[in-house]
Amino acid sequence: MTVASGALPRLPRRVSIREVGPRDGLQNEAIILATDDKLRLINALAATGLTWIEVGSFVHPQRVPQMADTAMVCARLPRRSGITYSVIAPNVTGARRALEAGIDSVEVFLSASESHNQRNLNMDIAQSLRTVTAMAALLREAGHPFQATLSVAFGCPFEGAVPLERVLELCGHLLDLGIAQLTLADTAGMAHPRLIQQLGWAFHERFPRHRLRLHLHNAHGAGLANVLAALQIGVTAFDSSIGGIGGCPIAPGAPGNLCTEDLVHMLHAMDIDTGIDLHALIDCTRMLEHLLGREVPGQTIKAGVCTHLTG
């Protein structure tokens, strides 16, 4: 079959990627990495052309022991021009600690379903909205950039489908806080390409001045298909994790986050620029496998880079 190229959907020429491996990826690992090893990995990632790296979390150290050294990591980050480092914070105390740590940017978050919010943040959504409002006031007063993530926006592992109107209502509350960018997260890997386009279009129609970022998981293998669906409706910002590390909350052992080098490989093959050196990125994944002492779920490190791709 031949198809005229004019009939093909237009795709963005450039995509921006936020690397979340040092936080969202590592926090699910059984092995707790030494601060020096985390910094080695972050250093290597910072040299690949990535412009945004999520490096830690100011949640309570007993809840996530892997992130207990976030303040120390923040103090020793390799400073390079053009790179933003961010952390996530669950409450006002966490936001204060992030400010004290001198991090570039802070991510606030809540869930689109009550059950997930309760388990993740130990409060109901109404309480979470009051909390993020207080955090936003603190960060705004300090003149500090912050963003928000809405978790389980494409489905909740405990409640199933989340009503689209509910998601949009919560997006509205978060955007009213004056955040720089909103991320919708497929925390449980329940999204599929049609849902990505339905929710993406609905968001665009309701909030035409705001650009969406997607945080996709690969629990059912739909991660890259979901990226393509998002590209087709003009989404140009994604989260991903080196090696595809990171867990799935309801299926231990299932793939977690979308894999950064798999994502970059596909985008470069499609002539979509990321500004990232794919080979340098794969070297980071090798370092990560060495640090973790195991294979990671990503495919590109096993299959290699297609010969026509140079960058």
Strand 212-215 and strand 237-240: pairing? parallel
Residue (of 183, 201, 310) closest to 257 by Cα position = 183
Stretch that binds Zn ion, among 16-24, 95-103, 124-132, 162-170 (CB under 5 A): 16-24
User: Least distance to Zn ion from the beta carbon of 246, Å?
Assistant: 5
Decide: 22 and 38 in contact? Cβ < 8 Å.
Answer: yes
- Under the binding rule (CB under 5 A), the answer on residue 111 touching Zn ion is no
**Nearest approach, Cβ of 220 to Zn ion (angstroms)?**
14
Token duo for residue 299: 């495919």
69 binds Zn ion (CB under 5 A): no
Please say whether the dihedral angle defined by the alpha carbons of residues 229, 230, 236 and 242, taken in this order, is positive or negative. Answer: negative
Q: Which is nearer to Zn ion, 24 or 69 (CB)?
A: 24
Measured in residues, the chain has a length of 311
Binding residues for Zn ion, total number by CB under 5 A = 2
DSSP-derived secondary structure for 249-260: TTSTTS--BPBH
105, 147, 257, 285: residue in contact with Zn ion (rule CB under 5 A): 257
Nearer to Zn ion, 50 or 305 (CB): 50
| Span from 2-10, 22-30, 37-45, 247-255 in contact with Zn ion (CB under 5 A) | 22-30
Distance CA 139, CA 106 (A): 8
Catalytic positions are 248
Q: Nearest approach, Cβ of 111 to Zn ion (angstroms)?
A: 13
Query: Tokens in use for 134?
Result: 């207080």
Q: Which residues bind Zn ion (CB under 5 A)?
A: 24, 257
